[in-house]
Amino acid sequence: MRLTAIKIIGVAALLADSSPSLAEGDAAAGELAFTATCAACHSTAPGVNKIGPSLAGIVGAKSGAAPGYNFSRALKAGNITWDEQTLDKFLENPPTDVHGTKMVISIPDAEDRHDIIAYLKTLKP
């Protein structure tokens, strides 16, 4: 019985190690996905806002805090720190995640989201 328990623990450890991580996104693929999906509304240049705010330095920033952009009340009040998990959830379906957000474009594909997030992590303010 003890050997079976050890095997189960070993298999569980292997499965845990093999699960995909948001950190595994491909920044180069993310730049392409960003250009195709996000760039019409968002700039990557610091302080350059379009329909949406600049996303330079977005990872680690608070929601509704980018300078010079008129955010929705929902994002200002959201008190979200944009990290891999919060960005992933938001990008999957922004209006569902933050009711009242101005952003209505979703990124339904998890791999695309992870790649975009990896790219966003490379952008400095």
DSSP string, 61-120: PBTT-STT----HHHHHH--B--HHHHHHHHH-HHHHSTT-S-------HHHHHHHHHHH
- Domain residues of the chain, as ranges? 23-120
Does residue 2 surpass a pLDDT of 80?
A: no
Tens-digit pLDDT profile for residues 87-119? 999 999 999 999 999 999 999 999 999 999 999
Cα 125 to Cα 108: distance, rounded to the nearest angstrom: 27
CATH number of 23-120: 1.10.760.10
pTM for the model: 0.80
pLDDT at residue number 123: 96
